[in-house]
Structure 1
Amino acid sequence: MTLLEAARAVRDRAYVPYSRFKVGAAVRGASGAIYHGCNVENVAYPEGTCAEAGAIALMVASGETELVEVAVIADSPSPVPPCGGCRQKLAEFGRPDTPVLLATTSGQELRTTISALLPGRFDASHMSGSE
């Protein structure tokens, strides 16, 4: 199964009773294993979980802390990029040159990288020397 196929399959399980906007994401860990996640809404909107965050949480819960590839898919007119918070989460576990595939259910694709999605990322080096 490809990363995009994994993202497409998990997208169908999204819990989206309010927006009806299903998103699926999959990340490949450094081991080669695929971890997937879907968005999960809550009536208190800020309490929902993005698909990318779910995939990363599954990766970490499975014992990995490095992702080497990302795929995100949604039923939208053009590929949907991760939200700002998810961009930072991807940057936490991936390198700047980590490939990111954004896709629509109709087949449109956009290939990018974590650094292109989050230029000027905040990272641990910004915290050195602080007490």
Structure 2
Amino acid sequence: MDDTELLDVARDAVERSYAPYSEYRVGAALETGDGTVYTGCNVENANYSNSIHAEELALSKAVAEGHRSFDRVAVSSNRRDGVTPCGMCRQSLAEFCDGAFRVVCEGDDEPESYTLGELLPNTITREHLE
């Protein structure tokens, strides 16, 4: 699956989003090391702090199924505005992925790709807790 196809899967996940408050619908498609793809969408709550982000949902589903190795994630929104994972989601991804992990998002004409290290330099790791 190439970046465009993975982004299409994320776009499909946008349609399952529950975002009645912000109306900002987000979908994510997370590819594991063995090529399995898990999707997630944002699920808002009237108490915004209890909302679930698309990337978190995809990551949680994959981890719950025993995956610990990930190759890339694609993220899209109903606005197709080039959204990237927020800081909290970047940190969640960094728990399992190194700085070379790829983040694919909407570009002007074709998908854009970043590394997690570009989006989240100086990541907090388990070594900081020792």
TM-score (norm 1): 0.89
CA distance in 1, matches of 2:49, 2:75: 21
C-alpha contact (below 8 Å) 1:27/1:55 kept by paired residues: yes
Match of 2:99 in 1: 96
C-alpha contact (below 8 Å) 1:79/1:108 kept by paired residues: no
C-alpha contact (below 8 Å) 2:31/2:70 kept by paired residues: yes
Q: Deviations over 1:57-105 (max 9, x none)?
A: 110111101211110001336311211110101111112101110126x
Match of 2:125 in 1: 123
C-alpha contact (below 8 Å) 1:27/1:70 kept by paired residues: yes
Deviation at 1:110, TM superposition (A): 2.4
Match of 1:21 in 2: 24
CA distance in 1, matches of 2:105, 2:12: 15
Q: Deviations over 1:18-56 (max 9, x none)?
A: 111110001111111001100000011110000000000
1:60 alignment partner, SS class: helix
Deviation at 1:108, TM superposition (A): 5.6
C-alpha contact (below 8 Å) 1:80/1:103 kept by paired residues: yes
CA distance in 1, matches of 2:100, 2:86: 18
Match of 2:9 in 1: 6
Instruction: Give unmatched runs, 5+ long, in structure 2.
Output: none
CA distance in 2, matches of 1:88, 1:35: 18
**Paired AA for residue 116 in structure 2:** I
CA distance in 1, matches of 2:49, 2:110: 29
Q: CA RMSD in A?
A: 1.7
What is the percentage of aligned positions where both structures have the same residue?
39
CA distance in 1, matches of 2:90, 2:109: 23
Match of 1:109 in 2: 111
CA distance in 2, matches of 1:108, 1:74: 15
Runs of 4+ aligned residues of structure 1 deviating over 6 Å after TM superposition are none
